[in-house]
Chains A and B, each alone.
Chain A
C-alpha cells in the first residue's frame, strides 16, 4: 500500500496528495506530490525539488510545510519500500559535503 502523507484538509479536499508509491523512479529518493494531471518530486536527501517542471511554486506553501513537517516519517517509509536505495545511503563521496 502506498504511503500517503496526511495533508491539511482544504488541500486534501481539493485533491492534493503526497505519496510514496511501490514503483517510483528511484534514482533519488523522493515524495511525489500529485494534483490532477501534475506531479512534482521533492527529494528526501537534499530536501529540494528534483524537477524544474512542473514549476515547484505551483505547490501551495502549506503542502510544502506538511511535507517538511513529515520529513522523518517520509524518509522512514521510503527506506521501508526501497531498502536498496535508502535516503541515508548517499554515495560515500557525498559525505564529503557534510
Chain B
C-alpha cells in the first residue's frame, strides 16, 4: 500500500495543484482531525496555510502513541511549535524562507521514486557560509557555499539570487547552475554509495574487471609484459573478445593473480 500525501489548504485557495492520485486535500479543521487516525508511517503532510498547524496539536491525545508521518510546512511557523510537532512527525521541514520549488513541481517531486535525490527547498546563510537544502523525502543536507566554485570561463554563483528549478534537479544562483546530482554526489556518502553500487553492477564483465584490477595494482596499460598497451585498452573497453590461452596467462602474470581470478575483481 503506497503512502498518502495530505495537502492542507484553505477552502478558498486559488493555488489548486494536482498532487499525486493518492493525495487528499484537506480544507477544514474537521477534515484534518478526521484524517489523523488514518495516517501511517511514511505519509506526507503538506501544509500550505500555517493557521492549520495548530489543529494537529489540538487534535492529539497525549502522550502520542504513534507518529503521523512527515510534515512539510510551506508557511511561516512559530519556532515554539516545532518541538511539540516533532512528537507527532518523524521529519519536519519548514521551508517558508529561502527558495522553494513551485507547487506544481513540488507535487511531482514528493511522489517521485527518486525524491531523495531532488531538492524541494533551501536557504543560503552567508554569515556561516552554508546552504541548507531539503530533499523530496524531507531529509536535510548542509553544503558549504565554497562547493560552488567559479567555472573555467569565470561564471560565479550569486547567492542572493538562489532558486530551485528543473523539478529539484537544479540549484540556481543567478546565472550559475549546479546540478543536484553533483551536490549530492559530493556531500552525501549514501547517495554516492548507491550510485557506485549501480555503476559496479553495470560494469560486470572481463573488461571492467581487468581495468579495476590494473588500477588496484597501479599498473599502466603499457606495463604488461608481452602485450601491447593497445591490446590492454581494447580488452578493457570490451572491443576485443574475452581473452584465452596465452593472452590470459600473460595478463594474469603481470597482474600477479591466477587467470581465473581476474574477472572476480
Chain A residues within CB distance 8 Å of chain B:
1-2, 17, 19, 21-25, 32, 34, 36-39, 51-53, 79-84, 93-94, 96-97
Residue of B nearest to A83 (CB): B152
| Residues on the A chain within 8 Å of B185, using CB | 25
25 contacts between A and B (CB under 8 A): A1-B176, A2-B177, A21-B179, A22-B177, A23-B147, A23-B148, A23-B178, A24-B182, A32-B179, A34-B166, A34-B169, A36-B108, A37-B112, A37-B115, A37-B169, A39-B181, A51-B199, A53-B198, A80-B153, A81-B151, A93-B220, A94-B233, A97-B230, A97-B234, A97-B237
Q: A2-B177, A37-B114, A97-B239 are in contact. Are A22 and B151 (CB under 8 A)?
A: yes
Quote the shortest CB–CB distance from A81 to chain B (angstroms).
4
Contact A17 B166 (CB under 8 A): yes
Contact A93 B222 (CB under 8 A): yes
Q: Does residue B170 face the partner (Cβ distance < 8 Å to A)?
A: yes
Q: A37-B167, A39-B169, A93-B221 are in contact. Are A19 and B177 (CB under 8 A)?
A: yes
A22-B176, A25-B182 are known contacts; what are 9 more A-B pairs with Cβ within 8 Å? A21-B179, A21-B182, A22-B151, A22-B177, A23-B176, A23-B179, A32-B179, A94-B233, A97-B237
Contact B169 A82 (CB under 8 A): no
- B interface, how many residues as a size bin? 35 or more
Quote the shortest CB–CB distance from A85 to chain B (angstroms).
9
Quick one: which of B152, B170, B195 contacts A21, CB cutoff 8 A?
B170
Contact B168 A96 (CB under 8 A): no
Q: Which of B128-185 contact A (CB under 8 A)?
A: 147-149, 151-153, 155, 157, 166-170, 175-179, 181-183, 185
Residue of A nearest to B166 (CB): A34
Closest 9 CB pairs of A and B: A23-B178, A97-B233, A83-B152, A96-B229, A21-B177, A96-B233, A37-B112, A1-B175, A52-B202
Quote the shortest CB–CB distance from A57 to chain B (angstroms).
15
Q: Does residue B99 face the partner (Cβ distance < 8 Å to A)?
A: no
Contact A23 B183 (CB under 8 A): yes
Contact B222 A24 (CB under 8 A): no
| Residues on the B chain within 8 Å of A39, using CB | 169, 179, 181
| Residues on the A chain within 8 Å of B178, using CB | 21-23
Q: A21-B170, A93-B229, A96-B232 are in contact. Are A51 and B198 (CB under 8 A)?
A: yes
Residue of A nearest to B228 (CB): A96
Docked complex Cα distance between A1 and B150 (Å)? 11
Q: Does residue B210 face the partner (Cβ distance < 8 Å to A)?
A: no
| Residues on the B chain within 8 Å of A96, using CB | 221-222, 228-230, 232-233
Docked complex Cα distance between A79 and B185 (Å)? 22
Quote the shortest CB–CB distance from A87 to chain B (angstroms).
13
Q: Mark B189-226, 1 if CB is under 8 A from A, else 0.
A: 00000010011011000000000000000001110000
| Residues on the B chain within 8 Å of A84, using CB | 152
| Residues on the A chain within 8 Å of B228, using CB | 96
| Residues on the B chain within 8 Å of A36, using CB | 108, 167
Q: Does residue B109 face the partner (Cβ distance < 8 Å to A)?
A: yes
Quick one: which of B153, B201, B222, B229 contacts A81, CB cutoff 8 A?
B153
